[in-house]
Structure 1
Amino acid sequence: MLQAQGLLVDDESRCVHYHSDKDIVALQCYECQKYYACYQCHNVLESHIFSPYPLNLKQDKPILCGSCKKTLTYEEYREKGSCSYCAALFNPACQSHHSYYFK
């Protein structure tokens, strides 16, 4: 089962930086292909900075739901604001960090 990496990550992918009830999304770094709770955790723990995922790779699944551990495409993530599999709500404020995670 996939698990998000990061600093003080709980069972649903919350980390020391983002830990509200809806902060349950982990995102995949394009360079190392690891799922991290946030770009800040990644940048502390890896030897390279977080590399945004190209949006033209439509079939790839760079989002990990911390609730059910299923991976989602970018379209699935953006479509409803919740997980397509378990209906867990995602934090809408994460869109303010779009440029860190996607290009």
Structure 2
Amino acid sequence: MKIHDVIVKGKVVDAETRCSHYHSERDRIAIKFKCCGTYYPCIHCHHETAGHSVERWPAEEFWQKAVLCGACGTELTIEQYMQSSTHCPACNKSFNPGCQTHHHLYFERPNSIGN
């Protein structure tokens, strides 16, 4: 599905990147996976459709644009996303604060490398 001219794969439900796994009002980001350079709404969508294992973004590549705001289409760097708290820095729409508990699935932290 194309969302703001960016292809997002997976079980996308709506135009703000909500999927069948995460679909609350504030679930509005997609993540570009390091392993394939493809945006998915969540790790479950990647597992179900990509056909390969997930590779997490290393901390030294947090300057890469890898998070898509489903509300406005802004592609954020990983660092911008991590520092944005729970709002898009471009349009101020809220992000799900619960996503922070899943960051380790997508992004390595210096103390999590090898885990």
Higher RCO (Cα < 8 Å, 6 or more apart): 1
Q: Distance in 2 between matches of 1:18 and 1:98?
A: 15
* 1:102 and 2:107 aligned: yes
Closer/same/farther in 2, CA of residues 55 and 65 from structure 1, 3 Å limit: same
List structure 1 runs of 4+ shifted beyond 4 angstroms: none
Farther off after superposition, 37-46 or 67-76 = 67-76
* 1:53 and 2:46 aligned: no
Bigger fraction of residues in strand: 2
Q: Distance in 1 between matches of 2:73 and 2:59?
A: 21
* 1:17 and 2:53 aligned: no
CA-to-aligned-CA distance 1:36-58 (integer Å, 9 cap, x gap): 00010011101102221122113
Structure 2: state its 5+ residue gaps: 109-115
Return the offset for 1:3.
3.6
Structure 1: state its 5+ residue gaps: none
Return the offset for 1:13.
0.4
RMSD of the TM alignment (CA)?
A: 1.2
TM-score normalised by the chain length of structure 2: 0.83
CA-to-aligned-CA distance 1:1-56 (integer Å, 9 cap, x gap): 11422114310000000000110011111010001000100111011022211221
Q: How many residues align?
A: 103
Check conservation: 1:3, 1:69, Cα contact below 8 A: no
